[in-house]
Amino acid sequence: MDEAVPAACTAGGHGIERPGLRLRHWRAWLTPQRADALERQLSAEVPWKQEAITLYGRRHLLPRLTCWMADPGCGYRYSGLENVLEPWSPAAEQLRRELEALTGWRFNSLLLNRYRDGRDAMGWHADDEPELDPAAPIASLSLGAPRDFRLRPGSSPRASGPLPAGYTPSAPAVAAAATGSNPCVPFNLELAHGDLLLMQPPTQLWWQHAVPRRLRVQRQRLNLTFRVVRQNR
């Protein structure tokens, strides 16, 4: 899978590798001025909605605002929601072009999340829906308040084949016994204003991520994840 990621992906940024995980993190990929302008523009031009999901018969509002933008036919179900697709907004379209130049991938789908303050959050999950192209990276751009982005091993039901060398799944007993030399322990990345994180295959098969609540955070954060959905399946 790895060889499908064009060489452009490896230019710049800081590589983070663990068994089954490949990330590249660009701190301040956008200048503060550009990041400020984009945060303002996206806050105003995106049709943000607070979606609800039903779990065990009870309806729960998601603790964040969201919007999906995608090319026609490139939507997919997420958290059990059949998403309403919006057309690409001007700012999102411009970013898509820049990320295409950086990575060589044509992103055809974008999830935008707006964390209104530190009470808004995202639970543990992997972006491993069958509609997503497993060979493509996910490009995640953050704007606004810095927030913790947590990662932990957690093999997905869609992972098949042998475990990556050195990989230990996050069974509670294993996590408790983890020592400093175990590369498969949960870890944290702070994602700040203008940062770009590229999550490369096979990360979504073997690791989960979350944005936990942080009550001290009073400002909003926007996050944009650019994805490649397989068409005509």
Ligand X SMILES: O=C(O)CCC(=O)C(=O)O
For ligand X, the binding residues (CB under 6 A) are 111, 113, 122, 127, 140, 149, 191, 209, 211, 223, 225
Nearer to ligand X, 5 or 132 (CB): 132
E strand intervals along 166-220: 187-191, 196-200, 207-211
Nearer to ligand X, 178 or 192 (CB): 192
Respond yes or no on whether the N-terminal peptide bond of residue 169 is cis (omega within 30° of 0): no
Residue 128: CB minimum distance to ligand X, A: 10
Residue 221: CB minimum distance to ligand X, A: 7
Nearer to ligand X, 41 or 225 (CB): 225
Residue 101: CB minimum distance to ligand X, A: 22
Q: Describe the crossing of helices 90-103 and 32-45 by its angle, rounded to 10 degrees.
A: 130
| DSSP letter string, 109-139 | EEEEEEE-STT--EEEE----TTB-TTS-EE
**Phi, psi values for residue 125, rounded to 5°:** -165, 170
Residue 174: CB minimum distance to ligand X, A: 23
Nearer to ligand X, 5 or 65 (CB): 65
Q: Which residue is nearest to ligand X (CB)?
A: 223
